[in-house]
Amino acid sequence: MSLSTSLDFPSASARAAYIDERLAELYPETPIPLDHTSPYTLLVAVLLSAQCTDKRVNLQTPGLFAKADNPHDMVKLSVAEIDAHVRPCGLAPRKAQAIRGLSELLIEHHGGAVPHTFEELEALPGVGHKTASVVMAQAFGVPAFPVDTHIHRLAQRWRLTKAGADVVRTERDLKRLFPEEHWNALHLRIIFYGREHCTARSCDGLTCEICRTVNAGRLRAVRVKKA
């Protein structure tokens, strides 16, 4: 019996194999949710997406990028001018300050280009490990497994991790379970599935297709620990 038809998943690796297969069937294409035209505009968009929806970010970035879609033009804008464009994304003016600050550092240390290493990206203002992972995966094709709220929640519901609130452990567990060559597409597929079928409100670990399949004997709702 193939993994796609079996209801017996005694191990995390068996559940991961089924999930990998099923998500590839559901989402054969993995378009990047954030609109961008370059690694720089992707970096800015990902930074803005912290505690904000991709849809909202995509509504705000066209106006900003029309004025500055590269660090050289961005540093010509004041923090207040950047803030005026990104305020609906929340956490302003902190995000505006970070965008201007990282633009200055890109010019000063990287010739205006977005660096290709985790260490250099994470040294930029407002850029944490998740943001760096998204840029490395989606801009440069480097295998990474960014863990956002959807992935952290679903990894617990699908019993792929016992990390609790520890997103670092969630990322490590997922990297161990899934083939490295699948990471970049898979993290997007999990996000797509989480938004469409396994949201915080619509599923409690018992409702959606994958939750029902990989937890056929589960009787109680799952209490997910937030990062």
Q: Which domain holds residue 109?
A: 39-140
Residue length of the chain: 227
Position 188 in a domain: yes
- Residues 43 and 77 occupy one common structural domain: yes
For the chain, 227 residues long, give each residue's pLDDT as a single digit of tens.
Answer: 344 444 567 799 999 999 999 999 999 999 999 999 999 999 999 999 999 999 999 999 999 999 999 999 999 999 999 999 999 999 989 999 999 999 999 999 999 999 999 999 999 999 999 999 999 999 999 999 999 988 999 999 999 998 777 899 999 999 999 999 999 999 999 999 999 999 988 898 889 999 999 988 777 877 777 76
Tens digits of residue pLDDT in 88-147: 999 989 999 999 999 999 999 999 999 999 999 999 999 999 999 999 999 999 999 999
Active site residue 130: yes
Domain boundary residue, one of 140, 172, 190: 140
pLDDT score recorded for residue 57: 98
- Residues 20 and 75 occupy one common structural domain: no
Active site residue 55: no
Q: Which of 20, 69, 83, 148 is catalytic?
A: 148
CATH number at residue 83: 1.10.340.30
> Backbone phi, then psi, for 115, in 5-degree steps?
-70, 160
Domain boundary residue, one of 118, 140, 162: 140
Tens digits of residue pLDDT in 92-109: 899 999 999 999 999 999
Q: Which of 35, 130, 162, 166 is catalytic?
A: 130
Given a contact cutoff of 8 angstroms between Cβ atoms, the answer to whether 54 and 60 are in contact is no
CATH number at residue 26: 1.10.1670.10
Instruction: For residues 29 and 21, give the distance between their C-alpha atoms in angstroms, rounded to a whole number.
Output: 13
Given a contact cutoff of 8 angstroms between Cβ atoms, the answer to whether 43 and 130 are in contact is no
**Number of folded domains in the chain?**
2
CA 42 to the chain's CA centroid: 12
